[in-house]
């Protein structure tokens, strides 16, 4: 039995980075959940861009603060603010609680008057999967799509059927397949792992906005990213996937 509190503390200690001095952070709420708002303090900005960021952590660990450095890296290319959502974590809140929170946050941004063409959604690993699911659910509700999405090492196949789950076992410097199996067990809690809203690799992605997908070449999640790009291409979604040395991302 894993100590959940220790897992969360260790994950935070491993990945949290200091924020640059020109970044202002504040707490807020979005979709009924706590959130971290980040702004880059610079003159001459109009502040109309909005980035909704969904953190990684296997649906079990992680927080907006842990991956704030990734959020800021994207925010540097925008003119506005980022809001990173503190969605509910498993096992206290199993599937689809996190997805419900992300959809509620996206809807609130739209209801508040955010221009969809100035709205982006991004996430790493579990958060990247939640970003895809949020767009899928928004599409089904007839909500406008964001302008684009950025997906770092998306954990989009909770069945762990990708070939890299075997070929990169022992190569991935952070996780093992057993780690991912444990995280996903906490999240799905007996639900169907292959359901599209749990594993969007098996979903119809038609109508989603352009996707930028990035993954490290040593990651267990390599094939999740590559197959997601192929799925997006088959469904006529504009996408791009880049591979490189393993980088600082969270599952």
Buried b (16+ CB within 10 A) or exposed e, 140-173: eeebebbbbbbbbbbbbbbebebebbeebeeebe
What token pair was written down for 100? 């419900």
Please provide the DSSP assignment of 70-90 as one string.
HHHHHHTTSSEEEEEE----T
The residues annotated as belonging to the active site are: 125, 219, 247
From the number of C-beta atoms within 10 Å of its C-beta (0-12, 13-18, 19+), residue 29 rates as middle
Taking the CA atoms of 68, 72, 73 and 75 in sequence, report the sign of the dihedral they define: positive
Q: Which residue has the tokens 């999640």?
A: 221
């Amino acid at each position: 039995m894993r100590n959940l509190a220790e897992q969360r503390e260790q994950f935070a200690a491993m990945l949290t980075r200091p924020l640059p001095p020109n970044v202002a952070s504040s707490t807020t709420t979005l979709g009924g959940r706590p959130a971290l708002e980040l702004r880059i303090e610079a003159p001459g900005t109009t502040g109309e861009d909005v980035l909704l960021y969904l953190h990684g952590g296997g649906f079990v660990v992680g927080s907006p603060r842990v991956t704030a450095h990734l959020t800021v890296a994207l925010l540097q290319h925008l003119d506005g603010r980022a809001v990173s959502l503190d969605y509910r974590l498993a096992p206290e809140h199993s599937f689809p609680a996190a997805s419900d929170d992300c959809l509620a946050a996206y809807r609130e941004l739209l209801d508040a008057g955010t221009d969809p063409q100035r709205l982006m959604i991004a996430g790493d690993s579990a958060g990247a999967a939640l970003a895809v699911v949020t767009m899928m659910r928004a599409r089904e509700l007839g909500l406008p799509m964001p302008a684009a999405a950025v997906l770092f090492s998306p954990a989009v196949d909770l069945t762990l059927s990708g070939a890299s789950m075997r070929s990169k076992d022992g190569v991935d410097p952070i996780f093992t397949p057993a780690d991912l199996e444990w995280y996903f067990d906490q999240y799905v809690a007996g639900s169907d792992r292959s359901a599209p809203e749990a594993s969007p690799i098996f979903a119809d992605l038609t109508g989603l906005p352009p996707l930028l997908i990035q993954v490290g070449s040593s990651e267990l999640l390599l094939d999740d990213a590559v197959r997601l790009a192929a799925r997006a291409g088959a469904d006529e979604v504009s996408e791009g996937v880049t591979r490189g040395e393993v980088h600082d991302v969270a599952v």
